[in-house]
Structure formats: C-alpha cells, structure tokens
Amino acid sequence: MADSDTIHTPESESNVIERVAKRKPPRSWRSWLIGRPMPTADAPHQTIGKAVGLAVFGADALSSIAYAPQEMLVILAAAGTQAFRYAFPISLIITGLLVIVTISYQQTIHAYPNGGGAYTVARDNLGALPAQVAGAALLTDYILLAAVAISSGVAQIVSAYSFLFPYRVLLSIGLLVLIMVANLRGVKESGRLFALPTYLFLGMTVLAVGAGFLRYLMGTLGAVADPPPIEFTHAAQPVTLFLLLRTFSNGTTALTGVECISNGVTAFKEPRPHNASQTMTWMSAILGVLFVGVTFLLGQIGAVPSEAETVISQLARTVFGGRALLYLGTIAATTIILVLATNTAFAGFPSLTAIIGSEGFLPRYFTYRGSRLVYSYGIVALALIAGFLIFVFNASVTALIPLWAIGVFLSFTLSQAGMTLHWWKAGRLPSGQTTPDADSSPQFDRHWKWKLAINGFGAICTAVVTLVFAVTKFADGAWIIIILMPTLVISFFAIHRHYVNLSKTLSLKDFGMPGRTRRHQVIVPISNIHRGTLVALDYARSLSFDVTAVYISMDPVEGKKVRNLWEWWGDGVRLVVIDSPYRAFLEPFLEYVDTLCTRLRPGERLTIVVPQFIPERWWHNLLHSQTAFWLRFALLNKRGVVIIEVPYQLEALS
C-alpha cells in the first residue's frame, strides 16, 4: 500500500518506487557552530563575485608581502647588513617572474573554464603520472600555506606583544581551528566574512608604503629606531652567486597562491572565466607593486630580519613614528590577513582532494559534501595536518619556508608544460575541430603560436626556479619535500589500484546470476542463558530449522549450570558444548566455524546469529568485555559466513 510521500513514476509501476525525505535536520550545537544544513539545490547559489573572490583566493598571494621580503633578508644577513642592498634588484626579478606566471595562468583560466589548475591541465595533456605529481605538489603547497600563514600572523602579534612569544604555538593552533570552523560554514559565507579584513590590510599597507615613499622623497624617512638583534648573521660570508640564488628562492614565496584562482574558477559568478581572469589581474598588480615598494623601503630604513620583531613591524613604526594607532592598525591588519591567507588553502585543498578522490587516487569520502555544501573531510584533514606541522616546527616561519615553495613551482612548471602541449595540439587541428579526449578539449586557435610561446617560456622559467629552489634549499629542509612527494605519488597509485581492483571484483560484467542460497545452517554462540539469548534463538529459528547453539566451556561448574538451564529453555534446539582447557573463547569457536565451513554444500550458507545486549547508558559498555564485537570482527573475513547481530535493549528495573 503506497503512502502519501511516494512519488509515482512510470518506473514505480514495475519495481522502482521513489520517495522524498521530508525530515529537516533539527537545530543542534552543530547548526549553532557551522550553520543550518543547506539543501543540495542551493549549490549553484554559493558562487562569489570578483570583490569577494579577491579576498578568498587572493589572500594567500597578497599576504606574502608580510613575509617574503623578510625571508630574503634572512639569507642576505649571512653576508652582513651591507648585502641587504641586493634585496631590491632581486625583488624586481621576482616581480618580472610574477608577470610571466600571471599571463600564463590567464590562458589556463580561459582554456579550462571549469577549473583547471595544475592537476587538471597535467592530467589532460601530460598523463596520469605528471597529474599525480602536480596533485602531490599542490596538496603539499596548501598544507604548508596554512602552516606558514598562521605562523607568520602570530609572529606579527608577538612583534607587538613580546610576552606572548612562549605561547605562539598555542595561538597558531587556536587560530587554525577558528579558520577551519569558518570554512565549514560554507565558501560564500566565509568569503564575505573575510573580505573586509583583506581590504583593511590592503588599505593599511598602501597607507604605510605611500607614507614611506612620501617621507623618503621629503628626506624625513630616517632609519629604524632600536632595531632588534640580527639572529641570522654568520661570520664573514662573501656575497656569492649561490647566496643570491638562495635569496631569490626565499623571495619567490611571494608568488605562492597565484595559481589558486585558476583552481577555483567554478566558485565565481558567470561569466566565470572573465571574472576569474580579472580578479587574477587585480591580485597580481597589487602584489607586484606592494612587494617591490615594501622591499625598497626596508632597504632605506635599514630593517633587519629577526624572530623577535618582523620587518613589517619595523617599517610601520618607522614610517608612522612609533607604536601609535596607525602602527597598531597596520600590525592588526597584517596579522589578520596572514591568518586569513590560510583561507585560500581551505578553499583549494578540499576542492583538489575532491577532484583527486573522484578519480580514485584519494579516498572517496573526500568527494562528499557536508551539511553546508563544502568538502568537510578535506577541510578537517587540512587543519589536522597543518596543526601537526605548526607543533613540530614550533610555529617558526623561517623553519617552514624551505619546505614550501618547491612544491609551488613544481606545480607551476607542470601546469605551464601542460598548457604548452595543449596549444601545440590546438595548432595541429583544422579550424573548428576539437579533440574529444579531455575535459577541456583543445580547439583550433589562430593565436596558438603566441600562446604556446607564452606558456612554454613560463614553463622554462618556473622549471629553473624549481631547480634553483631544490638545490639551494636542499640542506635547509627541502630534502623532506623531495622525499615526501614521491611517497605521496606512490600512495596515490596504491589507492587507485585498490579502487580499480575493487571495481573489477564488484563488476556485473559477465557475472550472470549469483548462486541462490537454498538453505541456512545457523549457529548461535552463547555465553549464558538469559533473555537476550532466548531472543536471539527465536530469531535464528525464524531463518532455518537447522539451528545449533554453541557454548564455550571454560569452567566445569558453569558449564554444568548452562546444560541444566538448556534442558528447560532450549526448546529442542541442539547445544554444542566445547571444552576450552586454556580458557580461550574466540579460538575454539573459530575452529568450530572452520570445521562447519568445510562441510557446506552448494547453495548452503552458514549464518551466525550473535546475541548483543544494549545497556541503558553508553558508559555501561565499558563494564563488559564486548565479546560480540570481537567475535564479529574475527568473522568478517570468513568466506561463506553471514553474521547477524540481534540486539536486546536493557531497561532499568523500577
């Protein structure tokens, strides 16, 4: 008899009945923390505009203004303060590289309007192995971004309030948890939440740089007062090419996050490629101008790198003449943007794990959307791993930086190499023809040669930077990433192999019909005779007439009591008593099951009905040995065996 909730379709007249679940999730502590659950139909409405997109996807790149100049000075300090003059020319070279990478990724956005990024581009154009290498590099990048950005933000707080220095790890992990919770509330909501602080940072940084240049032109800028001690100086090291290359490597961390917009094109409102491309242009222009401006001013005021006080703090108190309101505003805005830069990782990491998981190279549960239409498993996984790194490296930005940018530039290289091949394929196609073998099929483009040249040049530049970073940072910790990424790639393929084998095992192709179960042989393990035993026994008899109760006797006295009770309550069911002289339960029972399995005939199945009593309070389970659980656990891998638990709910006596 159909009920009112049933939707009748042509199929429902045969064997298919469709229903719509009308239950709405109730309010709970989860709805208070991350918001009310959202229906799947709301997913298309969770897109964002350019202004919010700059805050969501650009915070990572823009926040690098706060630490990339300092990390250059850290390396140059090995040759003394006179070497700091090389920072500005190196920043110009890095900005030129930023222009090349931005133009290259502009082409990726338009060629892959459904969200390309290095992983999709490499998969479609270079193959599975380069795609997994790009995936491993990007996932590593996102994890380290979260750890570095949070640690750098806390470093700004410590610069203003030095008494918090011993608590920087706890502060970092606490802020990481807050960002995680905000992202669990949804992309659109977290983007709106973070937009205002991002623009506050840009406003304060533009004010500081503008005021600094004005005072420089007026000749009133001066040097930083009471600079902190230089902690990174090594005795009498000359300025060598290797030292300058290491400085360049540290400075290229300013480019981290440039690719995030191309990864998240689908998050933008229509027209997606146009909005994403324009947002990337804004982001890169702002980043380039402020990065060069900050680096120039740091050289003019004689700022020095230190764990005790950041160079941004030194610049702000020099430009604004002390630690007054504008200084505190700059530090607060910088701290906030560094913390919120972690949001870029929380936007990119879950989406990428969902893509990789959908193709079977990561666990499938990464593709599941949570109650707020975000990939909750990816968000929580990112927070856990990044928090672990913060704890291990004591929230030190300088210790984490060498682990970072090699993965960033490796993904840059694979993306640009893939796009180069993309345009080469497009140039060989007749006008109007496309190739059907990729998500974003190449089609003929009369400007394909210029586009190929741009992406090809970008690939060469980023490949050189990757090599420089690997060599110059190898001893500083980059060796960890060089070992970790192949390990991740091997793990990806191992996971994929499991899913492929599972799919083949479960495939219905050439399967025919499964063998029919004609007869059940049922056994019921019992530990005593009580109400739960009789309920399970009654259920077993409803399955088959061939029912056997099995009792493992470890005490002759108790065994005799069970035999006597069985005469009254067994109701004619046979009881097998197995003596266990060494007081083991599982092993003798499993041995008996193995014996029965060898005697099963075609069409016969062994069913084990396990009595399980359920206490009134959850903690009462701690007072019992949980034999049913361990029995089920031991029997799951037995072929031809079905395990059924029959619960018996206990109620307190009045």
| Residue-wise pLDDT tens digits, 556-598 | 888 889 898 998 888 889 999 998 888 788 888 888 988 888 8
Torsion of CA 108, 109, 114, 115, to 10 degrees: 80
* Domain boundaries for CATH 3.40.50.620 within the chain: 519-649
Confidence band, pLDDT 50/70/90 cuts, at residue 332: confident
Q: Which two tokens stand for residue 539?
A: 């259920």
Please list the residues that pair with 649 across neighbouring strands. 614
* Span 93-130, pLDDT tens digits: 999 989 988 888 888 888 888 765 788 888 888 889 99
Is the Cβ–Cβ distance between 557 and 528 less than 8 Å? no
Neighbours of 364 (CB within 10 A): 13
Torsion of CA 471, 477, 480, 485, to 10 degrees: -60
Return the pLDDT at 575.
Answer: 92
Nearby residues of 559 by Cβ (< 8 Å), 6 or more positions away: 551, 553, 577, 579
Ranked by mean pLDDT, the top range of 33-42, 229-238, 515-524 is 515-524
Mean pLDDT in residue range 28-34: 56
3-state DSSP call for residue 395?
A: coil
Mean pLDDT in residue range 191-218: 86
Lowest-confidence pick of 342-356, 359-373, 502-516, 589-603: 502-516
The CATH architecture assigned to 519-649 reads: 3-Layer(aba) Sandwich (3.40)
Pick the closest to residue 495 from 362, 643, 302 (CA basis): 362
> How far is it, in rounded angstroms, from Cα 135 to Cα 498?
19
Return the pLDDT at 294.
Answer: 93
Mean pLDDT in residue range 227-253: 76
Q: Which two tokens stand for residue 400?
A: 């984490």
Cα Rg for the chain, rounded, in angstroms?
Answer: 32
Backbone angles phi, psi at 196, to 5 degrees: -60, -50
CA distances for 445 relative to 30, 426, 450, 493, angstroms: 51, 6, 10, 35
> How far is it, in rounded angstroms, from Cα 347 to Cα 360?
21
**Which pTM was predicted?**
0.71
What CATH code would you report for 51-430+444-498? 1.20.1740.10
114 residue type, one letter? N
Pick the closest to residue 264 from 285, 254, 279, 252 (CA basis): 279
Mean pLDDT in residue range 329-353: 83
* Domain boundaries for CATH 1.20.1740.10 within the chain: 51-430+444-498
Task: Give 4 or 629, the one with higher predicted confidence.
Answer: 629
3-state DSSP call for residue 235?
A: coil
